[in-house]
Structure 1
Amino acid sequence: MDDVLVVGAGPVGLTAACQLARLGVSVRVVDKLDRPTTESRAVTVHARSMEMLAPLGALPRMLARGRRVDGLAMVDGATGHTRARIDFGEVPSRYAFLLDIAQPDSEAVLAERADELGIVVERGVELIALTQDDDGVEVTLRSDDGERTTRVGWVVGADGGHSTTRHLVGTHLEGGFHGQHFAMADVETETALSPDTIRMFTHPDGVGMLFPLAGARARTIFLVDAPPAGATAPTLEEIQALADARMGGQVRMRDPLWLTYFEVHHAQVPQYRHGRVLLAGDAAHIHSPAGAQGMNTGIQDAANLAWKLALVARHGADARLLDTYHDERHPVGAEVVRTTTALTNVGTAAGVGAVLRDAALFVVGHTPAVGDAAAAKTAEVTIAYRDGRLAVHHGHHRHGTARAGDHAPDPDGLRRPDGSAVTIADLLVRPGLLLLARSDDTDTVDALHRVLGDLGTVVRVVRAASADGGEQVVDDGDVIGRHYGLGDEGLALVRPDGYLGLVADAADPELLRRYLADSLGVPEPVAP
C-alpha cells in the first residue's frame, strides 16, 4: 500500500510529492490530464517559495528557464505614468527578486526532479471515488484501462480550483461568488518597457497586468466584463485593443501562444484537513491573480504539509500533528484572498477612490521603508507561525533575533571546517529536521544525536573547528548569536520547510525530547 496518493501533478502536487519522497515516504501521483499542460497559467515564483524549492534540487533548473525580475510597478494605464515601483532587492532572503517562469517549464523541472526521486506521474488517471476509515483511504481511479480500486494511507488533493478531491470529501469553497472575468494571453511583445519589472496597470475599466517571461515572451491579463456566451478566448486583436487602452499604448503584441478567458472567485474551504484527506493549493483557496500569490501559496501549503505527513506516515507521529497544517496555513490563505481582492479593487477604482489610491501609491513609491515592507509582504517572507503550537521558545529571547515560528534566518558568515562557505539553505538540502546546537560538551552533543535519531541532522555550531567529531559549522563572527539569539549554549530546530520549531537558550537534550514528543507527537526516534 502506498503511503500517500497525491492527486494533481501541477506545481503544488509535484512539490508535495518530491518533498514526501525525499523524506522516505512512498508516493503515488495521478493526474487526469493525458499530458502536461502547455498553458502558462501561473508564472511568478516569490522568494519564500524559492527558499522551499531550493532544498528539493529544483530551483537552479527553474532559474535557468525563467527570467529574474527585480521590481513590481503600479502604472497609470491611461497615461503610462509609473505611480509606484517596489524593488525587491532589500527583501530579507537569498532570493531578493521574483522569478517569472511559464508553468509548463516549472512543471517540467519538478516532474524531472520527481522522476529522479523515483516518482512515476500517472497521467490520464482520474480520482472518482474515495472512502476512508481509521487505517487508510480506499480510492477508485479511472483511466483508459477502466476503473480500479486501491488502498492508500493518505490523500493529498492538489487538483486545482475544480477539485474532485474537495467534492468527494463533501466540502466546498466559501466566499465571493459574483466572479471576476479576465482575458489572458501569452504573446511575443514589442515594447520599450524594461523586462526587469512586473507591471500592474490601473484603469477605471479594469486592471491590466504584464509579466515578462524569457526572451520577448510575456503574459498579459486584463479584467473584463463577462465574455459573450460560448466565447472561450479573446482574439489577438481584442487583446491588443485592451493593451492600447490600458497600458498607455506601450505594448505591441504578436504570435500568441495561448489566449483564454477565465473567471476567478474569491473563496476558501473552511477546513484543510478531512481525516486522511488534505487539500492544498487551488483545491483549498482561489482568488484574483493580482500580486501573483496563488501558486506560491500552494507551493508553501505543500512544503508545510509534506514534512508533517512524513512524520505521521513514516515515523508514527500522532496524526493530530496534521491539524497544525490547517492551523498554520488556513489563516495565510484567508489573508491572500483578502489581499488579492483588495488589489484588484484598487486597480479599478474611479473618482474619489482613484484619488485615494494614487495618494497611497505616491507614499509607497517615495517612502523606502513603506516600499520595502510592501516588497517583503508580496514576496511572502513576512509569513510566520509564532502563535502556533509547534512554535516553542524556551528561556530568554534576545531582542531583534528570530523567535520560534519565524522562518530561520540564513546569514552569511558560516563556514565548514575546511574553510568553505556554508548556508542554512545548504544544510537543509539533507532531508529531515535540522538541529543547530551550541555546546562545548561533546557528551551533550552526542545525547542530542541520540534524541533526534533518524528524524534529521545535528549540526554543532562552533567558534573554531575542532576534532571532537560530528558535523560542525564554524561561526567565528557570532552570526548565529546575532540572528538566532543563541549564547554559548542553545538549540535551534529548523523544520524541513525552513521555519523554526524549537529555540532554546540551553543545549538540553531533554528540551529536544519533550518537543519531539509533546509538540510533534513523535515516539522515540530510531538511532541514525
Structure 2
Amino acid sequence: MEEVVIAGAGPVGLRLAAELRLAGIGVTVLEPRPAPDPRSKALTIHPRTIELLASRGLHERFLSEGIPIPTGHFGMLDDRLDFRLLDTDFQYTLAIPQARTEELFEEHALAAGARILRGHRVTGVTDTGDAVEVAAEGPDGAYALRAEHVVGCDGTRSTVRQSAGIAFPGTTYSLVGWLADVVLDAPPEGGYSRATDHGGLMILPLPGGLHRMIGCAPEDVRSDWPGEPTLDEVRARAVAIAGTDFGLRAPVWLSRYTNASRQAERYRAGRVLLAGDAAHQHMPAGGVGLNVGVQDAMNLGWKLAAVMAGKAPADLLDTYHDERHPVGVDLLESTQAQTALFAAFSPDGQQLRALLSKMIAEQPGFARGLAERLSGLSVRYPPADPAAHPLTGLRAPNLRFRDGPCLLERLRSGRHVELDFADGRDELAGSRPDWASVRAALIRPDGHVAWATEDPAAPRPSPW
C-alpha cells in the first residue's frame, strides 16, 4: 500500500512531494515524460511563492539564478505595477525558466526521499472508500497500485480528474496567441511591452542570453487552431507592433497559447485531490499559473500530512477546497479580464487600455491592490469564526524578532509556529502597526495566520 501517489512531476507535483516528505509521508510520483521538458511554459516566480520557498530554505538557489524584475504588468498595459511598494522581503518577480524550476524542485524532492518514476503514466483511479486503486502504465506495461490518497497534478487534461468524475466547466478559447524563445541582436533594455491596434507584444529576458517574445494580434481572435507559429510570422508581428524585429534569430521554441478558462468543481473527491493545472486552466497572463499551483501544493501538503499521521481529522482536507477554490475563481477572473485587455484592438478598446493604464500611474492604491493580487500576497482564507481576530487567515509577513530567527526561518520545519508576545519571548523588531497589539499568534505551516489574540490570558488553541 502506497501512502500518497502523485500524478505528474511538474512544479506542483514535485513541490507537493517534498512537502509531504518533510512530514515523513511516503510519496510515489508517476510522470509520463521520460525526462524533464527543456521547454518552459512558465518563466515567472512571484513574491509570495518566493516567500514560501524561503519558508523551506529553498529560495537561495532561485535568487542566485533568476533575473529579478521589480515591476509587473496587468493586461500588458503601458504603465507597470511597482513591486517595490509591496510588504515583503522579495519586492520583485524572478524570471527563471520552468525547466530549471522543475530541476531544482526535483532535486529537493529526491533528497527528501520521494520516489519519482519517469515514463510511468496514471491511466485511471478508483476510490474504493478505504483506499484508491491506481491503474498505471510503465516501460514494462500495465500495472496497479493501491494508495491511501492520490493527488492529480497532471495538467489541464488530468486523467485523475476525469477518472474521479470531477467536472471541469468553463469556456473554450477565442484567442490564440504566440510565443517565441529567441536570440535578439538588438534587445530592448529590461522588460518591454507595447500594445497598438496592430496587436500587443511583450519581451522578457531569460537566463542564458535568450529572450521570450509573447504577443497576439487582431487576426489571433479566433476559435480555430492555426498551427504552430513560424519565425517569419513572429518577425512580421513584431515589426507591425514595435516597428522592429529586434534582430530576432535562432529560435529555441515557437509555440501558441489560448485563453481557454476552466475550473474543477471540486478540489477533493474522497481520497482523490487536485492541484495546479488539473484544478484550473486559464490564459497565461501575468505569469501566475505556476505560482497558484505551487501555493495549492503548500496549502494541501501540511493538511494531507496531518490527516495521514492521525494528528488531524479527515475533514481538515475539506478546507483545502474551501480555501483554494475561491483563489482559483479569482485567478480566472483576473486572467479573463486581462485577456479582454490583450484583445482590445478597437479604438474603444485602446481608450479603455489608456484609462486603466493612467489609473495605475495616478492612483497608488489601485496600483498597489493589483500588484498585491498579482503577486499572491493578498490571499486571505476566511476564518470559520466570524469573531476571529482580523489577522486570522491572512498571510503573515516575515516578522523579525529582537532575539532568534525571523518567521520564515522558523517555518522551515513545516510545522505550526506559536508566537508569544505577552511574556517578551518573541519581542518584535521594527515597526509593525498591524501586529502591535497582538499578544499571541499561531502561524500555519503555509505561513497564514491560524489564530491571533490581543488577550494575553487567552487559551492557546490546538493547531487542528
Shared fold by TM > 0.5? Answer: yes
8 Å CA contact 1:439–1:507 kept in 2: the answer is: yes
Per the alignment, residue 457 of structure 1 pairs with: none
Instruction: Answer yes or no: is 1:294 the counterpart of 2:285.
Output: no
Instruction: State yes or no: 1:431 paired with 2:414.
Output: yes
- Mark the structure with the bigger radius of gyration: 1
Q: Relative to 1, partners in 2 of residues 1:204 and 1:320: Cα closer, same or farther, differing over 3 Å?
A: farther
Residue number in structure 1 paired with 2:69: 69
Instruction: Rate the CA distance shift 1:136–1:4 in 2: closer, same or farther, 3 A.
Output: same
| Cα distance per residue 1:429-456 (max 9 Å; x no partner) | 122111112344xxxxxxxxxxxxxxxx
1:439/1:304 CA distance change after superposition, 3 Å: same
User: Structure 1 residue 19: deviation in Å?
Assistant: 0.9
Change (3 A) 1:411 1:115: same
Letter in 2 for 1:403: L
Cα pair 1:407 1:499 within 8 Å, conserved? yes
Q: Which residue in the other structure is 2:130 paired with?
A: 135
- Label 1:147 to 1:12 Cα distance change in 2 as closer, same or farther (>3 A): same
Determine helix, strand or coil for the equivalent of 2:247.
Answer: strand
Contact 2:282 2:335 in 1 (8 A): yes
Aligned Cα RMSD in Å?
2.5
Q: Distance in 2 between matches of 1:150 and 1:392?
A: 43
**The one of 97, 100, 103 aligned to 2:95:** 100
Contact 2:75 2:286 in 1 (8 A): no
Structure 1 position 212, deviation (Å): 1.9
> Contact 1:392–1:404 at 8 Å: present in 2 too?
no
Judged with a 3 Å threshold, the aligned counterparts in structure 2 of structure 1 residues 148 and 226 are, in CA distance, closer, same or farther, namely farther
| 1:204 paired to 2:202 | no
Partner residue of 2:380?
384
> Conserved in 1, the CA contact under 8 Å of 2:196 and 2:350?
no
C-alpha separation between the residues in 2 aligned to 1:75 and 1:284? Answer: 23
Q: Report if the CA contact (8 A) 1:12-1:299 is conserved.
A: yes
Question: Which residue pairs with 1:237 in the alignment?
Answer: 232
Structure 1 position 403 matched with structure 2 position 396: no
Residue 111 in 1 paired to residue 106 in 2? yes
* Per-residue CA distance 1:307-354 (angstroms, 9 max, x = gap): 111111113421111111111111111111111111121122122232
* Unaligned residue ranges in structure 2 (runs of 5+): none
The alignment partner of 2:185 has SS state of strand
CA distance 1:140–1:254, change in 2 (3 Å): same
**Residues 202-233 of structure 1: per-residue CA shift (max 9 Å, x gap):** 23354333222114312222235389988642
CA distance in 1 between counterparts of 2:30 and 2:73 reads 39
Equivalent residue in structure 2 for 1:146, among 141, 144, 148: 141
Percent sequence identity over aligned pairs: 32
Q: CA deviation at 1:409?
A: 2.2
Aligned to 1:12: 12
Shift of 1:262: 3.4
Q: Is the 8 A contact 2:56 2:413 kept in 1?
A: no
TM-score (structure 1 length as normaliser): 0.82
In structure 2, do the counterparts of structure 1 residues 506 and 135 end up closer, same or farther at CA, with 3 Å as the change threshold? farther
Distance (Å, rounded) in 1 between the aligned partners of 2:238 and 2:28: 43
Give the distance between the partners of 1:75 and 1:383, measured in 2 at CA.
20
Matched, 1:329 2:278: no
SS for the counterpart of 2:166 is coil
How many residues were matched structurally?
A: 461
SS of structure 2 residue aligned to 1:193: coil
Q: Distance in 2 between matches of 1:111 and 1:233?
A: 30
Of the three residues 146, 168, 171, the one matched with 1:173 is: 168
How many angstroms apart in 2 are the aligned matches of 1:87 and 1:359? 18
Structure number with greater CO (CA < 8 Å, separation at least 6) is 2
Q: Which residue of 2 aligns with 1:259?
A: 254
Q: TM-score, normalised by structure 2?
A: 0.92
Q: Distance in 1 between matches of 2:163 and 2:223?
A: 32
Unaligned 5+ segments in structure 1 are 77-81, 417-421, 441-460, 463-472, 521-528
Q: Does 1:491 align with 2:452?
A: no
Aligned-residue offset at 1:474: 4.7
